Amino acid sequence: MLKGLLNKSRALPWKIGNTILPCTPTPLIMGIVNVTPDSFFDGGLHNTLDAAYDHSQKLLSEGAVILDIGGESSRPGSTPVSVQEELDRVCPLVERLSMLSKEISGKDAAPTFYISVDTVKAKVAEESMRLGAHIINDISACSMDPDMPAVVGRTGASVVLNHMRGSFGKMQQDFKPYENVVQEVRDELLNQVCVLMANGVEQQKICLDPGIGFGKTVQDNIDLMKSVEDMLDDGYPILIGTSRKSYIGKMPGLETSDRLIPTVTAGIVAALGGASIIRVHDVKEAKESMLYLEAMNGSI
């Protein structure tokens, strides 16, 4: 029944720096590195430079192609941090990983892995790019900080536009309900694409994330997961991030789940829908599930 499904995948390429990431049979894996004390799943586990660097190396060894570094939690009830505090958390790790990348691939060669910074602050984005980051992953789709679109354009960053409704840390309490979640998410993301392109961002450097769990009901999230392939009609690569998110525990029968197996399953659904990137905490498990898919499709 699965024969040929991945060969029919419509996953789209994404330009990072001067390199266009190839369309692979399954999505590339973005590993999550939270250098925070309060992130919902791994807060406090990697919030020192050495611990975060060691964890980053572990994720790379397990199959991550992109490392997404976050210095501010967006979980429900989280407290915003200052620009300086986020800089202090994120920048030393970006700099060290950039040095590692150059050691592995050579100064002028294409990187063997890419550094993404998960931030809504333009100053953090700009300094991270100066230190060697390649991608800005903005959960507000570059709308929270009015300077962010210009920074992305000026620095040449690739960008993930993540859809969100509601305010930071309270997005599950005060968001405006949807009448047609798939169409509204697509329209709102495309509006931000126009803003980015008006600020000089290359179209090929834009990746869209429907924002699973960001100001949405369980049914909204399900509807979006089922519509990944439809979103490709807009012409942009799709990133899906469902890793260990709380909405999984609101599904019937999953109330006490540790959310790992549902996360892996969601990654498979995203792969079959044509996603180019999946963002996960558990890289080893995600990579093994993608290798299994490729084997089922005769790609070995």
Q: Is the dihedral of CA 159, 165, 171, 177 positive or negative?
A: negative
Looking at the DSSP bridge assignments, the partners of residue 116 are 68, 135
* 158: nearest Cα among 138, 139, 134: 134
245 is catalytic: yes
Let me know how long the chain is: 300
Place of tokens 């300094």: 127
Catalytic residue among 245, 250, 284, 287: 245
Look at residue 70 and give its three-state secondary structure. Answer: strand
250 is catalytic: no
* 124: nearest Cα among 112, 114, 139: 139
Contacts 24+ apart (CB under 8 A), 182-186: 182/223, 182/224, 182/227, 182/230, 182/231, 185/210, 185/211, 185/224, 186/231, 186/234
116, 160 in Cβ contact below 8 A? Answer: yes
Helices (H), 77-211: 83-105, 122-130, 148-155, 181-198
Catalytic residue among 89, 216, 259, 279: 279
Distance between CA atoms of residues 273 and 210, nearest Å: 13
User: Which positions are catalytic?
Assistant: 245, 279
